[in-house]
Amino acid sequence: MIVEELRAVQRQYGFLPAEQLAALSKKIDVPVTRLHQVASFFPHFRLTPPPKADVRVCRDMSCHLKGADRLRANLERRFAGARKDEITIGGVSCLGQCDHAPACAVNDVIYGDLDETRVEEMILGVLSRGELPEPHHRFHKLQCASDPYDGGGERYAAVRKLVETRAFPAALEALKASGLRGLGGAGFPTATKWQAVKDQPGNEKYIVCNGDESEPGTFKDRFILTYVPHLTIEGMIVAGLITGARKGVLYIRHEYEHQIAICEEELLRCRRDGILGTRVLGSDLAFELEVFVSPGGYICGEESALLEAIEGKRAEPRNKPPFPGTNGLWNQPTVINNVETFALATAILSRGVDWYKAQGKNGSVGVKFVGVSGDVNSPGVFEVPMGTTYAELINSYAGGVDGGRELLAFAPSGPSSGYLPASMANLPLDWNAVAAAGSMVGSGAIVVCAEGRCMLDMALNAVRFYRNESCGKCVPCRMGSQKMVEMLTGWKEGRSREGDLTLLEELSTAMKLTSICGLGQVVPVPIASVLKHFPEVVNDHLQNKRCVAGVCFAGGRG
């Protein structure tokens, strides 16, 4: 309850006043030091009063490609003389609006498709009248092949069937036969995870949906929670019935206010219709589900850090083993899956394994939601057959590279996948094929870079994101990410030194082997991919002090 209580205080006062923290400490019988520990960790909480206009421009991947740095610099110049209690302008990590880049948050209200004039108007409106315009939710409804209820029919059919038949082993076998993997990035077999929790003794088990979605380029879950939230919710209920869990938590990032409201409304309908509660559809089966709103931070996407946040602690990853399947939420067996994984589990159990397998192409199986952003004409979320090539995703679905330019590079799954060159765009969206190419399908966050981009600059942008979002718990990640940012910044500014490449390799190895969680382990991936696929770019910076793209040094030369 700690996080929810802190959120309630901040909603009322705009920040967390010391006297209110003291009062909350007495109310919930938690030491005030513990409240400070939690509040100081999460970026959403403020311990001091905010200015009248707090402007945070997204600084990551897609927004970086769409001029966010220039937007922020121009705003800083425009309001250079303003008092700090009137206005602050700074950066913020990915806001989940990659298809509407550049984006920014003004007093925690998120806007996309921005230019300097529009942001300036909003700032002046806040300063003079205390008013902000309503954000426009620019969503484009697509036909959702995985929604078994898109053509009509009573929702929650998979839950109804399970309650009636109690065919839990058969449902697990169906998921196993489908080959469904976790679609948040790791790709772990879904049926194996559910089976492990089912086999654990005891009655106290949990189902947790990871809807944090904070990695740059990732916004597909926003689409799912907007248009087909019932699929994710049904998948969680089904997981609860199969594993014997009676409680579920849908964890959503706080930036997704619109989606939080949609999910809360859907849960109300479920309770009204008897889909949730102590007697699911009048049976002796019980399952309840609630939404937990994240107080922010990319590290919360790490499954054990997410559990710590729900428990009212700092979201620092746990040492493993044990794993959540045996010691998860409140130290009980817990299934943790992504929004898309639960949604497709519903589709498979409703439509059947044969339907799911028939959706793929070029020898691949199933469907995948992908988000394409960056240098493309029509960024957005697309539900596509597995096996679709990245060239098709970029050119046919996302309208091709913008400005009539050629494709230079693409990230198959945000910064954690690294960058692949245009020559590899004919790779299929396939787990094994992309892994064999040295990358990963991951969450399907495809970020496109057109010709004229500096890939060293893009690598630094990605590594800086990880540095900014490191929880700081382990030394390799905390210090290694900072050292890597300093080194790459030096390369961009003409301050490289002999032995840098050897030092980078040693640092990368140390981080991969000794970091507690995946964040520290993937910090080196962006620059490693650029060194592998674009060595001439790095050599030009190091040897010639030249940036052909004109991004680094002063106008391209040192």
Give the start-to-end residue ranges of the domains of the chain: 2-41, 53-129, 157-355, 364-450, 456-544
Distance CA 485, CA 462 (A): 10
CB 308 within 8 A of CB 316: yes
**β-pairing verdict for 87-92 and 104-106:** unpaired
Distance CA 58, CA 375 (A): 16
The DSSP 8-state label assigned to residue 422 in this structure reads G
Q: What are the average pLDDT values for consecutive 10-residue runs of the chain, which has 558 residues? A: 95 97 97 96 95 97 97 96 94 96 96 95 94 76 82 91 97 96 86 97 96 95 95 98 98 95 97 97 97 94 96 95 96 97 97 95 94 97 96 98 97 97 98 96 96 98 97 95 97 94 97 95 98 97 95 63
Distance CA 341, CA 181 (A): 7
| pLDDT score for 137 | 64
The structural architecture, per CATH, of the domain 456-544 is Up-down Bundle (1.20)
Identify the three-state secondary structure at position 338: strand
Match 């529009």 to its residue by tokens.
Answer: 118
Bridge partners of residue 92, in order along the sequence? 58
| pLDDT score for 153 | 81
Q: What is the 3-state secondary structure (H, E, C) of 211-253?
A: ECCCCCCCCHHHHHHHHCHHHHHHHHHHHHHHHCCCEEEEEEE
> Which of 518, 484, 482, 520 shows the shortest CA–CA distance to 503?
484
Q: Show the CA angle centred on residue 315, arms to residues 312 and 319, nearest 5°.
A: 115
First to last CA, the chain: 54
CATH fit for domain 53-129, picks 3.90.650.10, 2.40.50.140, 3.40.30.10, 1.10.1270.20? 3.40.30.10
CA distance to 24, 279, 294, 312, 370, per residue, from 30 (Å): 8, 34, 20, 11, 43
CA dihedral 535, 536, 537, 541 (to 10 degrees): 110
> Which of 465, 471, 179 shows the shortest CA–CA distance to 341?
179
**β-pairing verdict for 288-294 and 247-253:** parallel
| Cβ atoms within 10 Å, residue 136 | 10
Element (H, E) at 474: none
Q: Can you read off the two tokens belonging to residue 291? A: 């939404």
Identify the three-state secondary structure at position 277: strand
CA dihedral 165, 167, 168, 170 (to 10 degrees): -150
Our measurement of the distance from residue 284's CA atom to the centroid of its chain's CA atoms, rounded to an integer in Å, reads 37
Distance CA 270, CA 272 (A): 5
| pLDDT score for 138 | 60
| Cβ atoms within 10 Å, residue 189 | 15
Query: Which amino acid belongs to residue 498?
Result: E
Strand order in the sheet with 407-411: 380-385, 367-374, 445-450, 407-411, 420-421
Distance CA 54, CA 212 (A): 23
Q: Can you read off the two tokens belonging to residue 287? A: 């399952």
| Cβ atoms within 10 Å, residue 165 | 10
Question: What phi, psi does 55 have (nearest 5°)?
Answer: -110, 120
Distance CA 48, CA 552 (A): 37
CATH class of 157-355: alpha beta
CB-based burial label for 416 (10 Å; 0-12, 13-18, 19+)? buried
CATH fit for domain 364-450, picks 3.40.50.720, 3.10.20.600, 1.10.443.10, 3.20.20.70? 3.10.20.600
Distance CA 105, CA 103 (A): 7
| pLDDT score for 140 | 58
Distance CA 63, CA 464 (A): 14
Our measurement of the distance from residue 475's CA atom to the centroid of its chain's CA atoms, rounded to an integer in Å, reads 24
CB-based burial label for 451 (10 Å; 0-12, 13-18, 19+)? middle
CB 209 within 8 A of CB 338: yes
Where on the phi/psi map is residue 539: left (φ > 0), alpha (ψ -120 to 50), or beta? alpha
